[in-house]
Amino acid sequence: MTSIDSTQEPRLVASSAKVQSNAVSLGVEAGELVAKGVCAWFSGRLVLADVDLEMERKKVTALIGPSGCGKSTFLRILNRMHETINGAELAGSVELNGEDIYSPQQRATTVRRHIGMVFQRPNPFPAMTIEQNVLSGIRFNRIKTASKDDLMEECLSKAGLWTEVKDRLSNLGGALSGGQQQRLCIARALAVRPSVLLMDEPCSALDPASTLRIEQTISEISEEVTVVIVTHNMQQANRVSHSCAFFLSENGQPGHIVEVGKTEKMFSNPEDPRTLDYVNGRFG
């Protein structure tokens, strides 16, 4: 059983006032994320304990485990969305390419530009066109680009959406189907050139055909962007990921990682019998 260090001191992570103006550069290439001793609290209750995880550059890491074991909380910690919740506290560190994203020198908005997020349910800006949705991030972040049209086509193509929407870019993004909206959100996230893309159950509300297309997109973009995905679909985790981290919360304990390993080994010959039971659907 994982040993949980209860001696870690939490720190409130909800203040941008302490952030200095000169942020350390986090880089623009595909990033390596490293979490060390991460613990999380909500209103004084420990919900995630002692998470150590290396998420390799240009690889897909799947976070698997039953509901309520801290996977989505951990994902939000990776791009500083945890601090947007009142009463959220954090201990440990998260590094992107060797830089602590919670350093006082780092602005949360800068971190989120380099570590993007795609949510469980598609969230295109409903009053914006398809074109405006894709380019919204570069406008908000005041990013200069040689050709907005080329960037838009590139990102929509990477998201597997270009051929479907190229003749109706002036239509509202909210008018697309659910699967198309999710791919639009992926294109929007890619437009700011993130080093890492986090995905929180991106296919849970989609039909099998849309799920397949997004899985193909994940495989394609992982050649240039590091991907971390939360999924409850074990077949999906097996198909798209290079490595898996199995989270578990049992007997009233906070969520923690039971085992980490290459996906093939995790599904065929894991070290912990609980991992084998979970991936084979015996619980959870």
Residue 153's pLDDT is what? 95
Residue 284's pLDDT is what? 73
Kindly write down the DSSP assignment for every residue of 19-52, as one continuous string. --SSPPP--SSPP-EEEEEEEEEETTEEEEEEEE
Residue 9's pLDDT is what? 58
Q: Average pLDDT, stretch 11-25?
A: 41
Would you tell me the crossing angle of helices 148-158 and 208-221 to the nearest 10 degrees? 120
pTM: 0.89
Residue 140's pLDDT is what? 85
Give the total residue count for the chain. 284
Q: Long-range contacts made by residues 157-160, C-beta under 8 angstroms, separation at least 24?
A: 158/186, 158/187, 158/190, 158/217, 158/220, 158/221, 159/183, 159/184, 159/186, 159/187, 159/190, 159/217, 160/213, 160/214, 160/216, 160/217, 160/220
Residue 252's pLDDT is what? 86
Residue 5's pLDDT is what? 47
30-124+196-279, which class in CATH? alpha beta
Share of the chain above pLDDT 90, in %: 79
Among candidate residues 162, 158, 232, 169, the one with its CA nearest the CA of residue 191: 158
DSSP secondary structure code for residue 232 in this structure: S
Write out pLDDT tens, residues 135-159. 999 888 888 888 999 999 999 999 9
Among candidate residues 264, 185, 191, the one with its CA nearest the CA of residue 225: 191
Domain range summary for the chain, segments of one domain joined by +: 30-124+196-279
Strand residues in 208-274 grouped as ranges (E): 226-230, 243-248, 256-262
Write out pLDDT tens, residues 50-95. 999 999 999 999 999 999 999 999 999 999 999 889 889 999 999 9
Residue 181's pLDDT is what? 96
Check pLDDT > 90 for residue 182: yes
Write out pLDDT tens, residues 184-224. 999 999 999 999 999 999 999 899 999 999 999 999 999 89
Kindly report the backbone phi and psi dihedral angles of residue 20, in degrees, each rounded to the nearest multiple of 5, phi listed first.
Answer: -80, 165
